[in-house]
Amino acid sequence: MRDNKVLVIVGPTAVGKTALGIELAQRFNGEIISGDSQQVYQGLDIGTAKVTKEEQLLAPHHLIDVRSWEENFSVHDFVSLANETIAAIIERGKVPIVVGGTGLYIQALVEGYHLGGEENHEAMLALREQLETLSDAQLFEKVTNLGLNIPEMNRRRAVRALERAEFGVKDENKGSAYEFHLIGLNAKREILYDRINRRVDQMLSEGLLNEVRRLFEKAPQAQAAKGIGYKEFFPYFQGEATLDEAVELVKRNSRRYAKRQLTWFKNRMAVEFFDVFEAGYPANILDQVDAFLN
C-alpha cells in the first residue's frame, strides 16, 4: 500500500539530491516536493541551485517559485504547504518525494510540528544552531538548571524541552499521518568540498553576480537576501571587499553549511546515509525504496 508513504531525500549541499529525486520519481511514478528554504523564491535560480526547466520536465516539482523575494517564508508555511501537496500527490495515485537539505523544515514535516508558527522561524533556527554547538553534558545541564523533568533524557529530548521552554505553549506537536522513509546522501569530505567549490565557480559562470546584484538593489533587507551565496557578495557591491574575497567567503560558508546539515540529520533524525560515490549506488537505494513502497 502506498496511500500514506512518503520518500524523503536529505543531505548536504552539492551531494546530488536533485538527481536521485528525479530518478526515483521516474522509476516509482513520483512527484517531487522541494524541501529547500531558498528555492521557494522567484528569481533566485542560480545561487540556490534550483532545478532547471529541463529537469522539471523530467519529473513534476512543487514548492519552487512560490514566493517573491520580498516575502518571508517560514517553517510553518513549509509544513502547511508540504502536507497539502503530499495529500494531492497521493490523491493522484503517485508517490510524494521530498528533496532538500533544510533540516528544520524536514524535521518539522516528518515529526509533525509547527515549531511555534511563522513568527518564531528565525528565532528557532538561531536557538537550534546555538544548541547544536553544545556537548551532551552542557545540553543536559541547561535542562537541569531550568528544572525540567525529562524521562530517559537524550539529546533530542533535551533540545525539544529547551525549545518548548523558550517558545512556550505555541510549540505544537501534531504528529503526522504519513509514513516517511528517509534517505541520506553523503560523500567523503574532500570530494564533497571540491564539489561545493566547483559548484560556486559554475554559478559564477552562469551569471550569479547579476542575480545577486538585482537582489542587492531591490530587496537587500529581505529574508531571501540572508541566504548563503547572496549575502557574501553585498560587501563587494558596497566596495568593502574584493570579488575574490566574496567568492572565497561563499565557498567557505557553503562548506560550513554542508557540515551543519550533516550534523543536523545525523544527530536529530533517523537517517541512513549512502555514499554517492561508492559501488552499488544508487541500486542499493532503489531496492530499499521498492521494498518500502511495496
Reported as a single tens digit per residue, the pLDDT across 16-66 is: 999 999 999 999 999 999 999 999 999 999 999 999 999 999 999 999 999
pLDDT of residue 171: 46
Amino acid at site 289:
V
pLDDT band at 223 (very low <50, low <70, confident <90, very high): very high
pLDDT of residue 34: 98
CA-to-CA separations, 118 to 79, 108, 225, in angstroms, rounded: 11, 13, 18
187 is in an annotated binding site: no
144 is in an annotated binding site: no
Q: What is the mean pLDDT of the chain?
A: 90
Q: How far apart are CA 187 and CA 203, in angstroms?
A: 21
Answer for the pair 21, 97: CB distance below 8 angstroms, yes or no: yes
- Sole residue written with cell 533544510: 102
Q: Name the CATH code of domain 191-256 (choices 4.10.95.10, 1.20.120.160, 1.10.287.890, 2.40.50.100).
A: 1.10.287.890
Q: Which residue has the higher pLDDT, 131 or 232?
A: 232
pLDDT of residue 130: 79
CA-to-CA separations, 258 to 11, 18, 51, 155, 279, in angstroms, rounded: 8, 15, 19, 21, 23
Q: Which residues pair with 173 in a beta bridge?
A: 113
Q: What is the mean pLDDT of residues 223-234?
A: 96
Of 63-72, 111-120, 197-206, least confident by mean pLDDT is 111-120
pLDDT of residue 169: 44
DSSP-assigned letters across all residues of 35-60? --SSTTBTT--TTTTPPPHHHHHHS-
pLDDT of residue 173: 55
Reported as a single tens digit per residue, the pLDDT across 126-171 is: 677 778 778 888 888 888 888 888 887 888 778 778 877 776 544 4
12 is in an annotated binding site: yes
Where are the chain's structural domains?
117-171, 191-256
15 is in an annotated binding site: yes
35 is in an annotated binding site: no
pLDDT band at 123 (very low <50, low <70, confident <90, very high): low
Please tell me what DSSP assigns to residue 113: B
Q: What are phi and psi of 181, to 5 degrees?
A: -115, 115
11 is in an annotated binding site: yes
- Helix ranges (H only) for the chain are 17-27, 53-58, 75-91, 103-111, 121-132, 136-145, 155-167, 189-205, 208-218, 234-237, 243-268, 283-293
pLDDT band at 118 (very low <50, low <70, confident <90, very high): very low
